[in-house]
Structure 1
């Protein structure tokens, strides 16, 4: 990484008081969780379609088998990147974390202001009565019930209407933040930020990829990601293609010593 870029990033974060953080799978890979699109990612095991709303309704057992094996990581621990973000939030530097991740590691690290834009793997909901099941309950049901994915708390004419869907966003699906009000709330958060910190995301999946467009003119954006993003050459962008935990640790050490 360029020393000038690192110094600029250190000074930016040192002076910032309203940082908004955008995170993707790259911050969780340092906790041993696979990403999706890299050479060792989840989509090397199966096509994207297996995580679509259509596949969920067509093959619910196979869908759950894949999701529970590859997306559920109850024993994963936050890494240094997660921990430092939590520390900066407690210090009053970070206003909001907006994450694509469904693993809950930001909250495990102690961060409070977290928007899980793509939902969570911790729970699942009946699509009819909205009863919430923990993923642990789903695993227990799987062991004892043939149709474990069908809610038994309510009744409908067609069983399909009572399918229990994990509370994360599938392809062809929408989430609670995928509304005009939700998107506008996020746009306003970014517009009020004095620094945008982008960690571990290629910023290629909409609508998440559009969020950096809503920072005010002249507001710095720091991108720490091992791959390229569409925003790498934008004005006031500082790009570091290195480990998130390592880089944030370096920045944090320098801030403490200043």
Structure 2
């Protein structure tokens, strides 16, 4: 990592007063969670279709077996990147984190202002009455019931209407942020920020990939990601192809030098 780009990014973050952070799988891989599209990612083990709404309704048991094994990581711990973002939020520098991740590690680290754009694996909801089950509830039901994925809190005649789905956004699905109000809130946060920090995402999956386009004129875009992104060469972008934890640690050490 070149010291010049690191120093430039450090100065930009130092001078920023309202940083919005976009995070993807790359920050979670540093906590031991598999990503999706890399050579060792989840899609090397199974096709994308298994994480679609159609597959969920066709084979809810198979979907849950795959999701609980590959998407649910209650034992995972936040890494240095998560911890520094939480610290910067506490210091008033980071105003919001918008994440593609469904693991809850930002909240575990202490971040409060987190938008889980693709939902969460912590809970599941009946698609009819919206009764909420914890994921541990669903594991217990799976181990003790045949039709564990059918809600027993509502009585609508069609069984499929009572399916309990994890609160994650699947292919062919929409989440709470996939609405006009949801998009407007996110785009306003980005437009009103004075620095956009992108961590661990290639910014190639829509609609998340469109978000950097809505930053205000002249607002810097800092990207820390091991792979390339379509925004690497746009105006006012600063790119570091390196580990997120190591990069943020070096920046944070410059912002908060130790007192000896």
Task: Provide the residue aligned with 1:156 in structure 2.
Answer: 156
Separation in 2, partners of 1:81, 1:207: 24
Residue 245 (structure 1) aligned with residue 223 (structure 2): no
Q: Name the counterpart of 1:102.
A: 102
* 1:207 CA drift (Å): 0.7
Could you state the TM-score of these two structures normalised by the residue count of structure 2?
Answer: 0.98
* Secondary structure of 1:136's aligned partner: helix
Taking only aligned residues, the RMSD between alpha carbons, in angstroms, comes to 0.8
Q: How far apart in 1 are the matches of 2:217 and 2:234?
A: 11
Deviation readout 1:50-88 (Å, 9 max, x if unpaired): 000000000000000000000000010000000000000
SS at match of 1:191: helix
Match of residue 113 from structure 1: 113
In 2, Cα distance between equivalents of 1:184 and 1:203: 19
Q: Secondary structure at the match of 2:256?
A: helix
1:257 to partner: Cα distance: 2.7
Aligned counterpart, 1:79:
79
> How far did 1:2 drift?
2.2
TM-score, scaled to structure 1: 0.99
Partner of 1:174: 174
**What is the count of residue pairs matched by the alignment?**
258
Shift of 1:108: 0.2
Question: Residues 1-258 of structure 1 correspond to what in structure 2 (within 5 A)?
Answer: 1-257=1-257
Specify every segment of 5 or more residues in structure 1 that has no aligned partner in the other structure, as ranges.
none
How far is the alpha carbon of 1:16 from its aligned partner? 0.9
> Which runs of 5 or more structure 2 residues have no equivalent in the other structure?
none
Structure 1 window deviating more from structure 2 (151-160 vs 224-233): it is: 151-160
